[in-house]
Structure 1
Amino acid sequence: MFKKVDRQKVRRRKHLKIRKRINGTASKPRLSLYRSNKNIFAQIIDDVNAVTLVSASTIDKELRAEVTNGGNVEAAKIVGKKIAERALAKGITEVVFDRSGYIYTGKVKALADAAREAGLKF
């Protein structure tokens, strides 16, 4: 008999394994992302002080005008570019990328590539 795989549970387990190894500091914070079917969110976090330094998402007031559908690759590119711009404005140039257990394709890859093109190093 088939057992249905709970993909969200698998992703959470992967995320916890990744978080054991990845840690953001003040000098090299962590770029974490979360994606849903309708939106994508990105944060740059200093884990030592437990502070979110910069954030961007498709539900931001600034980005709502640019984004028609928040759950596609184009929206991920816009969020990646915006998070990099905001990080560079705060003096953050280098980060550790935390894909949060998601497979590195599609929206996740688009966000990472856009952030790299805009000037973030990881």
Structure 2
Amino acid sequence: MKADLRFTLDLARAGAANAAAGVHAAVTITQRLPAFSAVAMAPFAGAAAAAEVELAMTEKVAAIWLGAIEAGLEWQRFGFALASGAVRPEAVPSRWLAVAEAAAGPARRTVRANAKRLTRPDR
């Protein structure tokens, strides 16, 4: 496959994944807003709301660290491939996009799982 076509397809795939993550984030924020409000109004009133806020913060920090680690690993793969001559110049934009995708992956997985968990009827 030609490099420019591959990059276009990779870019479209990344755009679709970002759009889906935006929808999942909106659902997650909508579902968590009552818990955030409850904790803000009465910090010691609801243990369930406080636990949800703590979970939200913990998940954000974990997604940031995992994204940084995965991006670093992908950047190393790119660097080794570039140093060994395995990457053609026209493939460089796709490899940069792969680094960005690796960084965003943990956040996307987390927000998708949260949207699914928070919209379950048994919750």
Q: Give the TM-score taking structure 1 as reference length.
A: 0.24
**Whose helix proportion is higher, 1 or 2?**
2
Larger Rg: 2
Higher RCO (C-alpha under 8 Å, 6+ residues apart): 2
Q: Give the TM-score taking structure 2 as reference length.
A: 0.24
**Whose strand proportion is higher, 1 or 2?**
1
